[in-house]
Amino acid sequence: MVVMVVGGNGQLGAACCAELRHRHADVRASVRDARRGATLADAGVDVVELDLTSGSDARRRALEGAECVILSANAVAPRQGDRPALVDRAKVELVDDAEAVGVRRVVLPSVPVTAADDEVPLVRGRRELEQRILSSPMESWVLRLPPFMDVWLALVGSSVPLRGEEHATLGRPSPFLRRFRRVTGRLVEDRGVMLVPGPATHRHAFIAVADAARACVEAALRPDGASGPVDVAGPEVLSWDDVAAVYADVLGRRVRVLSAPAAVFAVAARVLAPVADVPARTMALNRYLAESESPWTDAGGGLVEPPTMTRVEPFLRAKAALPDRPAG
């Protein structure tokens, strides 16, 4: 069976490719530029070029012969010139294309449901895509995943989680993200400050990207689809204060939490929306996290064995032991 990872160069996408190879599955990965797919090809992945926004014919050619699609591509950290709304639209259209060429199953890594969903363009798009997939005659797995520790424990002001990561989401050449990271990328290790969206007491079942990939791959390879969305929690629920304590222990320095309220992000998103789409969407996404918690206790969501999942403390300790140099 051929499993196609759409967005094979992303952090989760690449981890899904690695996990599929580990499980001896035939893997096809779509990338936008074949030159950026060399590492995947070296690992035995069949690499095809596909820009999701390039129309139905291109999408169908890329999908032909795939039995399962893991739909991981997204425009959260877009390249210069990318238009996130078009990517969201193209992902819904890709579901039509997948049905047309006979794909049997779709796996969607998605995000938790919160009261702020309607206010956040990225999440609105995700709910539309979920609905389209869940109402399809194809088998489906919609996995609602909590914040990735590889991403969010860096986004709060550290470069430690990025060590050794070739496909880091936060390493993407996304102009707005690059500017933000230049200012905040080492606050935790250099200043002992963690910049957190929302209250320091908010709790999340942080999951490692490698475990999220194991869940996606298990969903792809299981005999059956799911009957509805599945929450896939990480192995423990921690508040931001707990994360700061882990950082303090791992780095051997005091770390305090600076909390940015949801209202600040909401106003910034509203002011920026007419003039700067990507920064506005990023602010809205921060608002989403600032207002929400994902304190689920069902580690692995029935797809991954909880005792085998990575916890925050060993994750950060292992990363901190790696050389401190830019990813890649």
Any contact of residue 32 with ligand NAP (CB under 6 A)? yes
Name which position in 152, 247, 296, 315 contacts ligand NAP (CB under 6 A). 152
Examine residue 52 and tell whether it contacts ligand NAP (CB under 6 A). yes
Beta bridge partners of 310: none
x/- mask, ligand NAP, residues 89-118, rule CB under 6 A, reads: --------------------x-x-------
The strand pairing partners of 29, in sequence order, are 5, 47
The reply on whether position 87 binds ligand NAP by CB under 6 A is yes
Q: Hey, how many other C-beta atoms are within 10 angstroms of the C-beta on 29?
A: 28
Contact flag: residue 294 with ligand NAP (CB under 6 A): no
What's the CA gap between 216 and 221, in Å, rounded? 9
Determine the Cα angle at 299 with ends 45 and 239, to 5°.
110
Site membership for ligand NAP, residue 79 (CB under 6 A) = yes
* Binds ligand NAP by CB under 6 A, chosen from 11, 159, 239, 282: 11
The residue (of 120 and 187) whose beta carbon lies closer to ligand NAP is 120
Of all residues in the shown chain, the one whose CB is closest to ligand NAP is 10
Nearer to ligand NAP, 74 or 239 (CB): 74
Give 154 or 223: the residue with its C-beta nearer to ligand NAP: 154
The smaller minimum CB distance to ligand NAP, of residues 14 and 246, is found at 14
Taking the complex as a whole, how short is the minimal distance between the CB of residue 17 and ligand NAP, in angstroms? Answer: 10
Give the number of residues in contact with ligand NAP, rule: CB under 6 A. Answer: 29
Q: Which of 74, 254, 76 is nearest to 152 (CA)?
A: 76
Q: Is 76 in the site for ligand NAP (CB under 6 A)?
A: yes
Q: Which of 105, 130, 148, 211 is close enough to bind ligand NAP by CB under 6 A?
A: 148
Q: Which is nearer to ligand NAP, 3 or 52 (CB)?
A: 52
Q: Determine contact, residues 153/206, Cβ cutoff 8 Å.
A: yes
The least distance separating ligand NAP from the CB of residue 132, rounded to whole angstroms, comes to: 15
Question: In terms of CB distance, is 232 or 257 closer to ligand NAP?
Answer: 232
The yes or no reply on residue 120 touching ligand NAP (CB under 6 A) is no
* 3-state SS, one letter per residue, for 148-215: EHHHHHHHCCCCHHHCCCCCCHHHCCCHHHHHHHHHHCCHHHHHCEEEEECCCCCEECCECHHHHHHH
* Site residues (vs ligand NAP, CB under 6 A): 7, 9-13, 31-32, 50-53, 72-77, 79, 82, 87, 109, 111, 145, 147-148, 151-152, 169
